[in-house]
Structure 1
Amino acid sequence: MTSLDWAIFVVYFVVILSFALYQSRNNEGVEGYFLGNRRMPWWAIGLSVMATQASAITFIGTTGQAFDDGMEFVQFYLALPFAMVVLCIVFVPIFYRARVFTAYEYLEQRFDGKTRALTGFLFLVSRGMGAGIILYAPAIVLSVILGWDERITILIMALVTVAYTMVGGITAVIWTDVVQMLMVFGGIAVTLLALFANLPEGVGVGDAVYIGGIQEMWRSVDLSWDPTNTYTLWSDLFGGFFLFLAYFGTDQSQVQRYLTATSLKDSRLSLILTAFLKVPMQVLILSIGVLLFVFYHFEEPPLVFSPAEVAAVEESSRAEDFRALEVEQARVHSQRRAATLELLEDRDRGADVAGSRSVIEEYDNQLREIRADAKILVSEVRGTASNDVNYVFPTYIINFIPTGLLGLLIAVIFAAAMSSLDSEITALSSATVMDFYRRWFRPDATDDHYLRVSRLATGF
Structure 2
Amino acid sequence: MHWINWVVVVVYLVVVVGDSLRRTRGTKNLEGFFLAGRRLPWWAVGLSVMATQLSAITLIGTTGQGSISGLRFVQFYFGLPVAMVLLGVTLVPFLHGAKVYTAYEYLERRFDAKTRSLTSLLFLLSRGMSAGTIIAAPSVVLSAVFGWDLVYCVLLMGIPTVLYTAIGGVEAVAWADVKQMAVVLGSLVAIIVLLAIKLPVPLDEAFRIAGSTGRMRVFDFSFSLTETYTFWSGIIGGTFLMLSYFGTDQSQVQRYLAARTVEEARTSLLMSAYWKIPLQAMILIIGVLVFLFFTFNRAPMLYNPRHDAALREKAPAQYAELESRYTVALSAREQAAREAARVKGAGPLAAFAEQNARVDSVRTEALAAVTTVTGENSRDVNFIVPRLVLEHLPLGFAGLFLAAVIGAAMSAIAAELNSLATASTVDFYRRWYKPEGTDAEYLKAGRAATVLWGVFACGVAVKAATLGSLIEVVNRFGSFFYGSILGVFLLAMIKRSNALGAFVGLIAGMSAVAAVSFGAPQVSFLWHNVIGAVVVLAVGLALSFVGGGSGSRA
Pairwise TM-score range, normalised by the shorter structure: over 0.9
User: CA distance change for structure 1 residues 228 and 104 in 2, over 3 Å: closer, same or farther?
Assistant: closer
RMSD of aligned alpha carbons: 1.9
Q: Is the 8 A contact 2:137 2:409 kept in 1?
A: no
Hey, what does 2:260 align to over in structure 1? 262
Q: How many residues align?
A: 452
Moved more, 375-384 or 251-260: 375-384
Aligned equivalents of 1:363 and 1:69: distance in 2?
Answer: 16
Letter in 2 for 1:450: Y
1:212 correspondence with 2:210: yes
Q: Is the 8 A contact 2:46 2:272 kept in 1?
A: yes
Hey, what does 2:240 align to over in structure 1? 242
Hey, what does 1:64 align to over in structure 2? 64
Letter in 2 for 1:336: R
Aligned equivalents of 2:368 and 2:18: distance in 1?
Answer: 48
Hey, what does 2:141 align to over in structure 1? 141
- Could you tell me the TM-score, scaled by structure 1's length? 0.93
Q: Secondary structure at the match of 1:71?
A: helix
Aligned equivalents of 2:346 and 2:105: distance in 1?
Answer: 64
Unaligned runs of 5+ in 2: 453-554
Q: Is the 8 A contact 1:47 1:178 kept in 2?
A: yes
Hey, what does 2:433 align to over in structure 1? 441
1:244-270 deviation digits (Å, cap 9, x = unpaired): 111111111111110000100000011
Hey, what does 2:320 align to over in structure 1? 323
Alignment of 1:42-191 (within 5 A): 42-191=42-191
1:168-187 deviation digits (Å, cap 9, x = unpaired): 21100111111122222122
Hey, what does 2:329 align to over in structure 1? 332
Aligned equivalents of 1:62 and 1:431: distance in 2?
Answer: 29
Q: Secondary structure at the match of 1:296?
A: helix
User: CA distance change for structure 1 residues 226 and 256 in 2, over 3 Å: closer, same or farther?
Assistant: closer
Q: Secondary structure at the match of 1:85?
A: helix
Q: Secondary structure at the match of 1:40?
A: coil
Q: Is the 8 A contact 1:64 1:390 kept in 2?
A: yes
Deviation of 1:459 after TM superposition, in Å, equals 4.0
Letter in 2 for 1:2: H
1:295 correspondence with 2:285: no
Letter in 1 for 2:22: Y
Aligned equivalents of 2:367 and 2:74: distance in 1?
Answer: 25
1:42-89 deviation digits (Å, cap 9, x = unpaired): 111111112222332222111222212111111010111111111111
Letter in 2 for 1:212: A
User: CA distance change for structure 1 residues 219 and 151 in 2, over 3 Å: closer, same or farther?
Assistant: same
User: CA distance change for structure 1 residues 156 and 372 in 2, over 3 Å: closer, same or farther?
Assistant: closer
Moved more, 303-312 or 387-396: 303-312
Hey, what does 1:19 align to over in structure 2? 19
User: CA distance change for structure 1 residues 389 and 85 in 2, over 3 Å: closer, same or farther?
Assistant: same
Q: Is the 8 A contact 2:209 2:340 kept in 1?
A: no
Letter in 1 for 2:299: P
User: CA distance change for structure 1 residues 376 and 110 in 2, over 3 Å: closer, same or farther?
Assistant: same
Q: Is the 8 A contact 1:127 1:424 kept in 2?
A: yes
Q: Secondary structure at the match of 1:115?
A: helix
User: CA distance change for structure 1 residues 79 and 40 in 2, over 3 Å: closer, same or farther?
Assistant: same
User: CA distance change for structure 1 residues 38 and 74 in 2, over 3 Å: closer, same or farther?
Assistant: same
Letter in 1 for 2:31: E
Aligned equivalents of 1:361 and 1:457: distance in 2?
Answer: 52
The counterpart of 2:388, out of the listed 396, 417, 420, is 396
Aligned equivalents of 1:38 and 1:31: distance in 2?
Answer: 8
Deviation of 1:228 after TM superposition, in Å, equals 5.0
Q: Is the 8 A contact 1:71 1:286 kept in 2?
A: yes
Q: Secondary structure at the match of 2:295?
A: coil
Deviation of 1:26 after TM superposition, in Å, equals 4.9
Unaligned runs of 5+ in 1: 347-351
1:41 correspondence with 2:41: yes
Q: Is the 8 A contact 1:184 1:415 kept in 2?
A: no
User: CA distance change for structure 1 residues 146 and 387 in 2, over 3 Å: closer, same or farther?
Assistant: same
User: CA distance change for structure 1 residues 149 and 375 in 2, over 3 Å: closer, same or farther?
Assistant: closer
Letter in 2 for 1:247: Y
Aligned equivalents of 1:129 and 1:371: distance in 2?
Answer: 30
Aligned equivalents of 1:345 and 1:43: distance in 2?
Answer: 48
Q: Is the 8 A contact 1:56 1:138 kept in 2?
A: yes
Q: Secondary structure at the match of 1:70?
A: helix
Deviation of 1:136 after TM superposition, in Å, equals 3.0
Aligned equivalents of 1:112 and 1:358: distance in 2?
Answer: 62
Letter in 2 for 1:112: D
Deviation of 1:418 after TM superposition, in Å, equals 1.3
Deviation of 1:448 after TM superposition, in Å, equals 3.6
Hey, what does 1:274 align to over in structure 2? 272
Moved more, 304-313 or 94-103: 304-313
Q: Is the 8 A contact 2:333 2:359 kept in 1?
A: no
Aligned equivalents of 2:151 and 2:366: distance in 1?
Answer: 29
Deviation of 1:121 after TM superposition, in Å, equals 2.5
Aligned equivalents of 2:82 and 2:47: distance in 1?
Answer: 19
Aligned equivalents of 2:123 and 2:149: distance in 1?
Answer: 31
Aligned equivalents of 2:225 and 2:421: distance in 1?
Answer: 41
Aligned equivalents of 1:132 and 1:337: distance in 2?
Answer: 39
Aligned equivalents of 1:297 and 1:125: distance in 2?
Answer: 42
1:196-249 deviation digits (Å, cap 9, x = unpaired): 12223xx23222222212223111111123555442101221111111111111
Hey, what does 2:368 align to over in structure 1? 376
Deviation of 1:32 after TM superposition, in Å, equals 1.0
Hey, what does 1:309 align to over in structure 2? 307
Hey, what does 2:424 align to over in structure 1? 432
Moved more, 333-342 or 14-23: 333-342
Hey, what does 1:349 align to over in structure 2? none
User: CA distance change for structure 1 residues 124 and 355 in 2, over 3 Å: closer, same or farther?
Assistant: closer
Letter in 2 for 1:263: T
Aligned equivalents of 1:226 and 1:248: distance in 2?
Answer: 26
Which is bigger in relative contact order (C-alpha 8 A, separation at least 6)? Answer: 1
Letter in 2 for 1:143: S
Aligned equivalents of 2:121 and 2:38: distance in 1?
Answer: 25
Letter in 2 for 1:311: A
Hey, what does 1:342 align to over in structure 2? 339
Aligned equivalents of 1:438 and 1:417: distance in 2?
Answer: 30
Q: Secondary structure at the match of 1:324?
A: helix
- Could you tell me the TM-score, scaled by structure 2's length? 0.78
1:355 correspondence with 2:347: yes
User: CA distance change for structure 1 residues 368 and 155 in 2, over 3 Å: closer, same or farther?
Assistant: closer
User: CA distance change for structure 1 residues 114 and 342 in 2, over 3 Å: closer, same or farther?
Assistant: closer
Letter in 2 for 1:300: R
Hey, what does 1:196 align to over in structure 2? 196
Q: Secondary structure at the match of 1:415?
A: helix
State the identity %.
45
Aligned equivalents of 1:250 and 1:235: distance in 2?
Answer: 20
Moved more, 333-342 or 39-48: 333-342
